[in-house]
Amino acid sequence: MANIRQLASGHWQVQIRLKGRKVTETFLRHDHAREWATESEGQIDKGRAPSGKRARGAKTFGALIDLHIDDMNEVGKPPRRSKSATLEMLHRELGAFRLNELDRERLITFGRRRATNGAGPVTLGQDIGAIKLVLSHAAAVHGVEITVEPVNLARIALKRLGLIGKGNERDRRPTEEELSKLFAHFDSNPRQLIPMSRIIKFAIATAMRQEEICRVTWSDLNARTKMLTIRDRKDPREKKGNDQRIPLLAVTGYDALGLIEEQRSIRSNEDERIFSYVHKSAGTAFTRACKELKIEDLHFHDLRHEGTSRLFEAGFSIQQVALVTGHKDWKMLRRYTHLRPETLHLVASIKAA
């Protein structure tokens, strides 16, 4: 039964003991305390967990998003940049709707609108997944009476409409002619402060991401063993603390350690990074050069793709390539592996030797 008593502060405290459960909440007003007590006793009697005070006051989808973010912050797992951006967008697009208004039809309309505005099948799938995550969190953690069935039905409909699905696997690799044009372009520009040719070669030699290249420090380098430690490497499950040691090889056409030694000659004592540049500036310079040289549909990230493919073409196994790229399994690695058939002659000659 519920016991309601007034505290010295003037607030009203509710204690419920029923069917082996004990829950307590505090309210400013007596009528709110009584209302919550009646509702919570009914939930416990039905075998459900009673909603907390804050969850009970969450009447809109935006309030549930705020509740989810606060809970994640409280346990030390705040949403990272990508998830934060998605939650902000959902708050903006759907946050004002009451929970009973978030039905299948509204979610399908939301999906259509996102697709019209340029969201691809993978992005929209992630959006719908985030909606389901927020609702499931509210139901599981706070006992909010809500179902995810409309989200599941909306996902099925959007998939049938072709708006949700797998993204097209990218297989763009730079040609030798394109790389030569890029090197000549950067090397002939005296105003180019970032050594872009060296960074491009290093990206191919190590299959490292743009941000990783501009983050590694001299203390991460072991020149004697030809090893480099990449701190907090990107991972779909856990990024923080995901450090990886990679070998600095010279099998892709470029010598990774040699490129670092070239960089040592212009080392800045004020910056511990090997490539002490803003990674976005490097990416912008690459994109601008491709546009000026009329090199179509080539992104800086394609250099990681190129480096990965060259490792396979050099005869390394899946497991060995993963030690360089950081991929966890073949399924994740496969999309980066588009081998040129003529390179099989090289692999065959290596094996014959």
Q: pLDDT digit string (tens) for 32-59?
A: 778 767 776 766 566 555 555 555 667 8
Domain count along the chain: 3
- The CATH number that applies at residue 207 is 1.10.443.10
Note down the domain range covering 6. Answer: 2-50
pLDDT above 90 as % of the chain: 55
Q: Does residue 71 lie in a domain region?
A: yes
- Domain check: are 183 and 328 in the same one? yes
**Position 86, amino acid:** T
With cut-offs at 50, 70 and 90, classify the pLDDT of residue 344: low
pLDDT at 238: 58
pLDDT(195) > 70: yes
What pLDDT, on a 0 to 100 scale, did the predictor assign at position 170? 74
Q: How confident is the model at residue 28 (pLDDT cuts 50, 70, 90)?
A: confident
Least confident of 48-62, 124-138, 196-210, 213-227: 48-62
Percent of the chain with pLDDT over 70: 82
Report the DSSP beta bridge partners of residue 230. Answer: 244
- Residue 222 CA to residue 178 CA, distance in Å, equals 33
List of long-range contacts for 14-17, beta carbons under 8 Å, 24+ apart: 14/40, 16/40, 16/41, 16/44, 16/50
Tell whether 106 and 248 lie within a shared domain. no
CB-based contacts of 131: which residues, under 8 Å, 6+ apart?
Answer: 61, 90, 94, 102, 107, 151
The pLDDT value recorded for residue 19 is 61
pLDDT over threshold 80, residue 143: no
Tally of CB atoms within 10 A around 3: 11
pLDDT at position 77: 85
261 and 336 in a single domain? The answer is yes
Q: What angle do CA 116, 119, 125 make, to 5 degrees?
A: 120
Q: Within this chain, do residues 184 and 323 fall inside the same structural domain, yes or no?
A: yes
Note if the pTM is more than 0.75: no
- Same domain, yes or no, for 244 and 342? yes
Q: Give me the mean pLDDT over the 311-320 stretch.
A: 88
pLDDT in tens, 68-77: 998 888 888 8
- 194 found inside a domain: yes
- Structure confidence at residue 176 as a pLDDT band (50, 70, 90): very high
User: Same structural domain for residues 276 and 297?
Assistant: yes
Structure confidence at residue 353 (pLDDT) = 58
Q: Are 309 and 338 in contact (CB under 8 A)?
A: yes
171 occurs within a structural domain = no
Instruction: In whole angstroms, give the CA distance from residue 1 to residue 41.
Output: 8
| 125/19 same-domain check | no
Per-residue pLDDT tens digits for 99-108: 999 999 999 9
In contact, 97 and 61? CB cutoff 8 Å: yes
Kindly state the tokens that stand for 283: 């990416």
